[in-house]
Amino acid sequence: MYIAIINYNMGNIRSVENAFKSIGAKVKVTSGIDTINKSMAFVLPGVGAFKDAMQNLENQGLIGAIKENVKKKPFLGICLGFQLLFETSLENGKHKGLGLLRGTVKKIPSIVKVPHMGWNQIDILKKNSNIFDGIKDKEYFYFVHSYHAVPEEKKVVNSITDYGIEMVSGIEFKNIFGLQFHPEKSSKFGLRLLKNFWNMAKEKK
């Protein structure tokens, strides 16, 4: 009974691991396909460049494993891990993502300060979403990013955030959850989101 945190050499893994542990979740940091297959739920964290991230996933043979496992169990993408869920990114060229969701990752327009860094609020669009259990509308979370995901289908959008432009800060589609902000760095309400995910993982079993 554990959550697999996918380690693909894209930073930030330890913070996510520590945050899950602090709320009593059992986690395994892994790049092993077998460990992911046997998990109850899995997480794709990540900080860094989109292209490098996809390259690392491919080199480690993880793309297929992600696509298979997502059919069966809850999956959480955080920050870059969230952006990787989409079909395409325009970060330094045009790059193919995991394609689990339709849409494109684009640069935050320079009419606002880039990166979008700091505490910002989320407008929760799906109030009854399990991931937002116990979280009030307009709660603050910690963001650090220069690109943002633009889903093609509005129905996957779970929360949005105002930063001069309106950005998608959370998505939900079948087993897939994605968060643009960093729950592991967002104090008690960030930890609450991780706890909600852990609870979903346990119920699934």
Partner 1 sequence: MITKRIIPCLDVNKGRVVKGVSFVNLRDAGDPVELAAFYDREGADEVVFLDITASHEKRKTVIELASKAAKKVFIPYTIGGGIKKVDDIREVLRKGADKISINTSAVNNPSLIEESSKIFGRQCIVVAIDAKRKDSNSWEVYTHGGRTPTGKNAVQWAKTVEDLGAGEILLTSMDKDGTKDGYDIELTKAITREVNIPVIASGGAGNLEHLRDVIKYADADAVLVASIFHYGEYTVREAKKYLKSQGINVRI
Catalytic site residues?
A: 79, 182, 184
Whether 16 contacts 184, CB under 8 Å: yes
- What are the helix (H) ranges across 84-174? none
Strand order in the sheet with 95-96: 95-96, 86-89, 101-107, 147-151
Of 112, 130, 128, 111, give the one whose Cα is nearest residue 120.
112
CB of 187 to partner 1, least distance (A): 5
Three-state secondary-structure class, residue 2: coil
22 vs 55, beta carbon nearer partner 1: 22
- Of 1 and 117, which has the nearer Cβ to partner 1? 117
Name the residue nearer to partner 1 (CB basis): 116 or 148. 116
Please report, as ranges, the residues that interact with partner 1 according to CB under 8 A. Answer: 11, 14-15, 18-19, 21-22, 47-48, 113, 115-120, 140, 142, 144, 162-164, 184-188, 190-191
Whole-number minimum distance, CB 166 to partner 1, in Å?
A: 12
Rounded to the nearest angstrom, the gap between the alpha carbon of residue 30 and the centroid of all alpha carbons in its chain is 17
| Cβ 3 to partner 1 shortest distance, Å | 17
Q: Which single residue is written with the structure tokens 């009030």?
A: 136
Q: Which is nearer to partner 1, 31 or 175 (CB)?
A: 31
Supply the minimum distance, in Å, between the C-beta of residue 118 and partner 1.
4
Q: 148 and 185 in contact (C-beta within 8 Å)?
A: no
Contacts of 132 (CB under 8 A, 6+ apart): 124, 126, 158, 159, 170, 193, 196
Strand partners, 204: none
